[in-house]
Amino acid sequence: MPTASTGSKKHLVRVHGLCHGAWCWYKVMTYLRSTGHQVSAVDLGGSGVHPSWLDEIATFDDFIPPLLQFLESLPANERVVLVGHSFGGLAISLAMEKFPHVVSVAVFISAYMPNCMDPPALQMTQYFKTLKPETYIDCRFIFRNGSLESAELGENYMATMMYPNCPPEDLVLAKMLMRPSNFFLEDMSKEGLLTREKYGSISRVYVVCEDDRVMDEEFQRFIIKDSPPKEVKSFPGAGHKIMMSKSKDLSLYLQEIVAQYP
């Protein structure tokens, strides 16, 4: 479910990564709200406090409606800064294709950022090829017909790979609120999901999270080369969960973005 702050300067809409929810943006939302920005965070299907369960979110069309419905509900003249983290990059990409007139700029934070030619799953498939089995640690995966279907993040994985750069209380919060999620590889392997005329017409910014153990910097640089954005910004020592480890720095940069892209 969307959660929003008050204010009318700018409207930033942020989307979480795999197995997370709107809750992971709580620090950034607090900083931006204090400056008067209007901020929203969306729980995608089966995530955060969204009422659906994993077995009810079989396709990406089941996963993305909360974001699409939120954008559709905005006033006719309102434009947003769309921010996606990690797996959330796929969600904001399809939202950009659906509502190109609503999005002034999209910010991809250590995220998948598809190009306009290949199916969005191509970057994800490349990512899985780079992983070694030992990096999964205690994550639990479900396969169907030999294809990776869903994942539940393990506590050791979160502590070692996702949250080592964050204050310990953020890891405790994550362990309490994490939910399993599907990968939707089959859906994201379809041709023609993104077009140059819609998705490709919107300015994109990529935030590189250095010291990221989930999507390492080399892979983030591969994404940038595969789908060049208008601007790239690097944050040393951020790790994967930059919205918690470097929340103030990220918030200040997002304020620069909203000022730069009206």
Tell me, yes or no, if 240 is annotated catalytic.
yes
Q: Whole-angstrom Cα distance, residue 204 to residue 108?
A: 7
Tell me, yes or no, if 150 is annotated catalytic.
no
Non-local (6+) Cβ contacts of 143 within 8 A are 149
The CA–CA distances, whole Å, from 4 to 12, 94, 239 equal 10, 22, 26
Catalytic residue among 47, 86, 181, 247, which? 86
Tell me, yes or no, if 118 is annotated catalytic.
no
Judge whether 50 and 44 are in contact, CB under 8 Å: yes
Other CB atoms closer than 10 Å to residue 129's CB: what's the count? 7
Q: Whole-angstrom Cα distance, residue 135 to residue 121?
A: 21
| Tokens 């060049």 -> residue | 228
Catalytic residue among 40, 240, 245, 251, which? 240
Non-local (6+) Cβ contacts of 6 within 8 A are 33, 38
Catalytic residue among 85, 212, 245, 247, which? 212
Which active-site residues does the annotation give? 86, 212, 240
